[in-house]
A and B are shown apart, each in its own frame.
Chain A
Amino acid sequence: GAVVSQHPSRVICKSGTSVKIECRSLDFQATTMFWYRQFPKQSLMLMATSNEGSKATYEQGVEKDKFLINHASLTLSTLTVTSAHPEDSSFYICSASPEVAEAFFGQGTRLTVV
């Protein structure tokens, strides 16, 4: 199957700093990628749709100025959590599809804000 790689897998940052998470499609091009957030013992919640070469589309209730998304190439999308606070601590996961069907997921990034 297609491979989606996410980096870093774990990050700890101080409150008020920004953190960048990368999502790469390794063996296919993805014009669209998705970013999800998952709290412990909960399901994945779609945060935003990352569109190559254009602005991201955010789900209702997700602050676009806090969660900056850049999709500068067909194989890379980045999510930057700006001015992170402890309540931003979560598991962030990206996904991409090589075709209009199955979605492949990255390994996820565990963000801890202290």
Chain B
Amino acid sequence: GESVGLHLPTLSVQEGDNSIINCAYSNSASDYFIWYKQESGKGPQFIIDIRSNMDKRQGQRVTVLLNKTVKHLSLQIAATQPGDSAVYFCAEKVGTYKYIFGTGTRLKVLA
């Protein structure tokens, strides 16, 4: 596989606060990125995507920022809720239908 197998870093956030999860990608030619949420024992679920011709995209309570200069993505979750607790992965599109995943971040929401 091409993604790096490292243990997941953890971000702990107080309920109601905003969360910011970061991701570095590898291929400067990648033109499409996705953030996924994965709950324990389940497959990844789509949260939000962004194309390389954009710097920012907003969804419901989530915002993705793309900095192509430093090959960096971030996912911002507003007013974090207990149901947001999960592992979050960024994925970059490296070929037709093909994606490579970042290392992931575990988000823990504290009551």
Contacts from A to B (Cβ < 8 Å): 1, 4, 6, 32, 34, 36-37, 39, 41-47, 49, 59, 61-62, 91, 93, 95-97, 100-108, 110
Contacts and interface: CB of A to CB of B under 8 A. Distances in A.
Contacts, number: 84
A109 B49 CA distance: 25
Interface string B48-79: 01000000000000000000000000000000
B54 to A, nearest CB: 14
Q: Chain B at the A interface: mostly helix, strand, loop or mixed?
A: loop
Interface residues of B, number: 31
Given A42-B104, A101-B32, 7 more contacts: A32-B97, A41-B7, A43-B3, A44-B1, A44-B3, A95-B99, A105-B45
A66 B102 CA distance: 26
5 contacts: A6-B43, A43-B89, A61-B1, A93-B44, A101-B32
B5 A43 contact: yes
A1 B43 CA distance: 15
